[in-house]
Amino acid sequence: MPLQLKPLHPVFGAEASGVDLTRPLADADLRAINAAMNEYAVLVWRGQPLTPQQQIDFAKSFGPLDIGLKRVFKRPERLEDERLIDISNVDAQGNVARRDSPKNLSNFANQLWHSDSSFMNPRAAYSMLHCVIKPSWGGNTEFADLRAAYDALDERSKAEIQDLKAEHFALHTRLLLGDDAYTDEQKKEIPPAVWPLVDTHPGSGRKVLFVGVHARQILGWPTAESRMFLQDLLEHATQRERVYVHEWQVGDLVIWDNRATLHRGRRYDVMERRELRRTTINDTPEAMLLAA
């Protein structure tokens, strides 16, 4: 059965069906998924009970995998394959983590509007998040369309930001949340990445307002003015009319394009088990299918 799409939001996002992601996909299916991603930026797949290896195999079909901050912070991991990123409140021993644990600190940082690995070069292209266990309430994930955000800017603002660049820093969110237990050496291991505020999405050709909470400084601007303007742009990008709210079901796989969207997790009872697995694709020349 060919790929079928049902729009979920007036601006972006679609529910996808007709393709079994647990099996190896034909090139035609991969091209169809990629074309749908270029149009909708977020695809929701229901009832896809992927094993860890099936999720990795599916993700690898689109390009090389990104392991994010794992390359810097060597911490004990619950999932054996480092290409799987454990989005959960479960510690390395398989127990629900303490409220004040490093695991939950990462979860709280995920509740800020961001795009995955925007603090790295190369940054992330697609992320794929699979729901294994959901809590009894909360824990939704929200997405905002950065292409629609750019389109909605007034002409003065578009002209003002046209040639500006912003520095994205991995620890910016952690420092905002009060976690300052990082040495100078650790900070040096994660140099900031710089991206234009106005980018062009390679798949759709649409302009993007590339902001997010990892952006801490506009190059050439005073810090205070820079951060206030970045906050204004982030508030604009995440207006409710440009946000899709995903309510998780076990077996869901949601794919989003980090070059065209922001996302954030929502609050839930951190003492109640929640498990999701993420795979993420680097935006590299090897991932040429993403721009096709």
pLDDT per position as a tens digit, 229-253: 999 999 999 999 999 999 999 999 9
This prediction's pTM: 0.94
Question: How far is the C-alpha of 228 from the C-alpha of 242, rounded, in Å?
Answer: 21
Q: How many CB atoms lie within 10 A of CB 122?
A: 17
Q: What class, spelled out in words, does domain 4-285 have in CATH? A: alpha beta
Tell me how far CA of residue 161 lies from CA of 196, 211, 252, 263, in angstroms. 9, 11, 37, 22
Coil vs helix vs strand at 276: strand
pLDDT of the residue at 289: 57
Confidence of residue 15 (pLDDT cuts 50, 70, 90): very high
Structural domain boundaries of the chain?
A: 4-285
Question: How far is the C-alpha of 122 from the C-alpha of 205, rounded, in Å?
Answer: 19
Model confidence pLDDT, tens digit, residues 65-124: 987 765 556 667 788 888 999 999 999 899 999 999 888 888 898 999 999 999 999 999
